[in-house]
Chain A
Amino acid sequence: MKKTVFQCFGNVLLFTLMGLAFMFPFSEVTQMEIGFQGTVTIFPILLIAYLIVYPIVHYILVKKYHWGKSANSELAYSDEREKIIVLESTKVAYKVLIGGLIITIAAIGGIEIISLSTSMDISTYSPSIALLTVLLDIATISYCVKWCREYKK
């Protein structure tokens, strides 16, 4: 269970950092004749740092807790019960993802309609990234919760 929780937590962190890095990549942006000038925010730096640190931490934990695929431990893919657990968890995450995507598309469409009908210039970029980030996080958490509940049975 530790491995699944760790991986899901890692993915949630990755999605959140990615979302923040794409939403707020630069500050003090100045439009120039060709291109732009701006200061890189902390989020892209944190994302790069995470992408370097995470594989190292993962490697250390794999070695420490013997998380190998062939090991007779958690997430041994040959184990029939775990296959069922993964199946059930994936089903839940899929439902959350599909439902969330429908809501996300509707929300983006709604923003666009409001923008057109009020003649206000509302950008859909940041809300889209935020909604997709939250959706990915919720789907991952749903997977993790279902996995842990089934595993404990």
Chain B
Amino acid sequence: METLKNIVKELRTQKDMSQGKLAELVGVTRQTIISLEKGSYVPSLLLAMRISEVLEVPIETIFIKENVE
């Protein structure tokens, strides 16, 4: 099964940004950011692009497709 892993938490903490602040900047709730960082929620392309813009990191660096057995 394919899944989408991400390094949002690492990049966010590097930027010293809170989950609430990131949520506000990308236009979602804090709970969505929590879920996304845990890997239990796969974001839409639009949200992924917004996160990429805010964190100033290419989208393919943040989100990595993985195969899980």
CA distance in complex: A78, B41 (Å):
16
User: Least Cβ distance of A77 to chain B in Å?
Assistant: 10
User: Least Cβ distance of A83 to chain B in Å?
Assistant: 10
Counting residue pairs across A and B whose Cβ atoms lie within 8 Å, the total is 34
Binary B-proximity of A74-87 (CB < 8 A = 1, otherwise 0): 10101111100000
Q: Judge if A6 is at the interface, Cβ distance under 8 Å.
A: no
> Are B35 and A78 in contact, CB atoms less than 8 angstroms apart?
no
Residues on A with beta carbons closer than 8 Å to the beta carbon of B3: none
> Are A151 and B31 in contact, CB atoms less than 8 angstroms apart?
yes
Binary A-proximity of B40-51 (CB < 8 A = 1, otherwise 0): 110110110000
Q: Judge if B28 is at the interface, Cβ distance under 8 Å.
A: yes
Residues on A with beta carbons closer than 8 Å to the beta carbon of B29: 72-74, 76, 79, 81-82
Residues on A with beta carbons closer than 8 Å to the beta carbon of B28: 76, 78-81
> Are B30 and A80 in contact, CB atoms less than 8 angstroms apart?
no
Residues on B with beta carbons closer than 8 Å to the beta carbon of A78: 27-28
CA distance in complex: A73, B44 (Å):
19
Can you pick out 10 interface pairs between chain A and chain B where the beta carbons lie within 8 Å of each other?
A: A72-B20, A76-B28, A76-B29, A79-B28, A80-B44, A81-B28, A81-B32, A151-B31, A153-B35, A153-B40
User: Least Cβ distance of A153 to chain B in Å?
Assistant: 5
In the complex, besides A72-B30, A73-B29, A76-B28, 7 extra interface pairs with C-beta distance below 8 angstroms are A72-B24, A72-B29, A76-B29, A78-B27, A78-B28, A81-B28, A81-B29
Among residues 14 to 45 in chain B, which have CB atoms less than 8 Å away from a CB atom of chain A? 20, 23-24, 27-32, 35, 40-41, 43-44
A72-B23, A72-B24, A153-B35 are known contacts. Are A81 and B30 too (CB-CB below 8 A)?
Answer: no
Residues on B with beta carbons closer than 8 Å to the beta carbon of A153: 35, 40-41
